Amino acid sequence: MNKNEKNLVIVESPAKAKTIGKILGNNYQIESSIGHVRDLPVNKIGVNTRKNFEAEYEISKGKEKVVKKLLEAVKESDFVYLATDPDREGEAIAWHLEQVLNLSKKKSSRVKFNEITSTAIKEAFQNAGEINQDKVDAQQARRILDRLVGYKVSPLIRRKIGGRSAGRVQSVAVRLICEREAEINAFQQEEYWSFLGQIEKSSKNFNAQLISFEKKKIVSPDKEKDNNICIRNLETADKIKQKINPPKQLIVSSVQEKALSRKPNNPFITSTLQRAAASLYGFGVKKTMQIAQQLYEGIDIYKNNSPVGLITYMRTDSIRISEKAQEEAEEYIKNRFGAEYCGDVSEKSQKTNKKNVQDAHEAIRPTYIDKAPEELKNILNSDQYRLYKLIWERFLASQMAPANIKKITVEFEDLEKIALFRASSQKIIFAGFMELNRERDDDEEAQEEGMQKSLPTMQKGDEVLLKDLKTKQHFTEPPPRYNEASLVKTLEELGIGRPSTYATIISTILDREYVQKNENKNLEPTKLGIDVNKALCENFGNIFESKFTAEMESKLDEIEKANLNWKEMLKEFYEPFKGILKEAQDKMESLSVETDYECPTCKAKMLLKSGFYGPFLACSKYPDCKTTLNLTKDGKPIPEDRPSGKPCPKCSTEMNITYGRFGDYLLCPNEECKHKMPIIKSLGIPCPKEGCKGEIIEKKSRFGKMFYGCTEWSNTKCDAVFWNKPIDEKCPKCNSMLTYKNLKRGDKIVCPVKDCGYERLASPEDIAKYK
């Protein structure tokens, strides 16, 4: 790095740019690409399969100004550093920037870092290198694969059954959810019973499970075999209880002591962080990643306009930890707990046994171990604090010594030797990592399972009293529905998707309305999701099977390792895919799907059919009933006209709400008038322009994009206009009306005045009130 040169650094996000800018100082101009600047076109497939899968990349819609600004910055710079994220997606963004900005390799370098700290950033710039083309090719192959499947299959799904889209990975996720729902529907509940004995020894009471009766082990229905017994009804349970006939004397038949070593969990990777946040806080996968992105890119914890990156890169499937981070954690543990609480260095050098892991990254960990969560509690918002605390504690625990536990198991027999009971207790001898955050005990659950906090001292041959024997009814349960976290776990176990794609997969299948969340936040398929999944499974062979999708992921990893040519891989996929697609088109030509809609004429079920102008509904009693219904853009029957309660401004006739090409609008039913008006949705906020008596309403541009403007535009030409939703709150800096800005990486409250620059992250209260 030459300090006399004009150095330009390009990152993806403005927040990341701000944090890095404070670290590098005034000799570096930091600009943001705001994500991808170039992609395949939206309105066509953009891949020439006849020319060796040549991609037709173009500047992404809305990024023209960003590219123009970056080109101007490049002209004024002597050297350019591409500092996008260190994963495949980040490498591809860097490559596209290199192409679009026409950067020479002599005048540009690729910079990678897993954490945004002064040490990591300066070290990364000292070791700047070239773009990893193998990584780029792997991402290109993924993008083209997804495009070929999506753009070839989706039109067929839309035309034939009214589906929104199909995707190489999203459709496999829907299939998993549909298959789980089928398992649940096919499940048959079974009753079974268990026994819990209340025992007394030396005036101390404890519980013990009846584990065997008449030399046969008592088990649940799924484990019933020749030498086991399952108690399936109350009558049998009562007979067993009568045969044992408490109160009665029992003899201690065995006492076993076992030393257990409980190791801490590995530090978080993307999927395990998403699962933990969902389990503890009810965070969705998308929300978890938004908060983690904020912690990674930097928080202004010192209130000096110098953000600090608090965690390492959050899209990772590696559990590796750098030596420096291990050493810092060891020093912290020694100072806080003592040397004996430090884990074994050899055990802390974690390596994963999982396949397809991109181990160049580290696990998710705090960047500064000395920044304990409690110190930041009043600085971070509640969600940031909870997620940071989770990451910080998990990492620190992973570097601590295992807990040493003594487990005592005691078994008891009656004199007739027909009943065998078992009780267990565990005692922590050395807490190790558990000292950091002792797990909550649940006495009731422990007692139900025969596990005690402590047992009285006993030896083989001692006598105890069985005071009572309680019976408990159980029912087998169906497999649980997936929630976001458990679906991510299954996708990861099957080798489908990668850390950077999990949140997108779930968002897509929810947005397409193939899947919905029930009141318990579990994922269940919709009727549309089930129909689309059935059509894909029946007509596309193994394309949407989890095994095939996982094999594709493995091949993408091989491309990244330079073991496989990416275009050869695409050719190997596409040749058989063409044949499968043609066969599917022929098979689905006459496909019709029964819907839940009733025929308005004869009340029979309506069928979803395909016509020249797209899908429509037809009565299942055809040809006896020839009723048909056209569909809205959302795939629902077009509603009949209904009264609006608003008079026509021209003839005073009450206007109807009518569905048209662009959705609902107001239409005067008077044949001599037929005046049309858009439906105005007011925000209930007065126009902020001084002297204007209008109010802010929703509007649409001629391109269909939503914006907000004043009702007085047509009368006084009031030019109050906002792209982001205005809110009834004033800017604390300039007193202008604030706006609510939706962002993938966390919504914000923003002042629309450019020279002001006020913004803040939207709090949970803001989101509930304004979103």
Rounded Cα gap, residues 446 and 75, in angstroms:
69
* Buried residues in 585-615 as b, exposed as e (16+ CB within 10 A): beebeebbbebeeebeeeeeebbbbbeeeeb
**Which two structure tokens, joined as six digits, stand for 408?**
């005592």
**Which two structure tokens, joined as six digits, stand for 296?**
């990674």
Q: What is the DSSP letter of 131?
A: -
Helix (H/G/I), strand (E/B), else coil: 694: coil
**Which two structure tokens, joined as six digits, stand for 331?**
């020093």
Rounded Cα gap, residues 366 and 384, in angstroms:
13
Rounded Cα gap, residues 448 and 194, in angstroms:
10
> What percent helix, strand, coil does the chain show, rounded to 5?
35, 25, 40
**Which two structure tokens, joined as six digits, stand for 128?**
């700047």
Beta carbons of 148 and 577 less than 8 angstroms apart: yes
Helix (H/G/I), strand (E/B), else coil: 504: helix
Strand partners, 254: 411
Cβ neighbours of 334 (radius 10 Å): 13
Rounded Cα gap, residues 39 and 51, in angstroms:
18
CA atoms within 13 A on the CB side of 21: 16
Beta carbons of 168 and 152 less than 8 angstroms apart: no
Beta carbons of 218 and 210 less than 8 angstroms apart: yes
Beta carbons of 267 and 390 less than 8 angstroms apart: no
Beta carbons of 676 and 666 less than 8 angstroms apart: yes
For 76-99, give the secondary structure using H, E and C: CCCEEEECCCCCHHHHHHHHHHHH
Residue type, 294: Q
Chain length of the chain: 771
Alpha-helix residue ranges (DSSP H) falling in 710-763: 713-716
Rounded Cα gap, residues 661 and 679, in angstroms:
14
**Which two structure tokens, joined as six digits, stand for 691?**
């002297």
Residue 313 a catalytic site member: yes
Place of tokens 């960047």: 367
Rounded Cα gap, residues 228 and 215, in angstroms:
9
Helix (H/G/I), strand (E/B), else coil: 411: strand
Strand partners, 759: 750
- Distances from the Cα of 227 to the Cα of 212, 215, 220, 366, 414, angstroms: 10, 8, 13, 52, 20
**Which two structure tokens, joined as six digits, stand for 491?**
């996708």
Helix (H/G/I), strand (E/B), else coil: 357: coil
Q: Using CB atoms within 10 A of its CB, is residue 531 exposed (0-12), middle (13-18) or buried (19+)?
A: buried
**Which two structure tokens, joined as six digits, stand for 292?**
């983690």
Q: Could you check whether the bond before residue 267 is cis, i.e. omega within 30 degrees of 0?
A: no
Q: Which of 28, 296, 313, 341 is catalytic?
A: 313
Distance of CA 668 to the CA centre of its chain: 47
Beta carbons of 420 and 450 less than 8 angstroms apart: no
> Active-site positions?
313
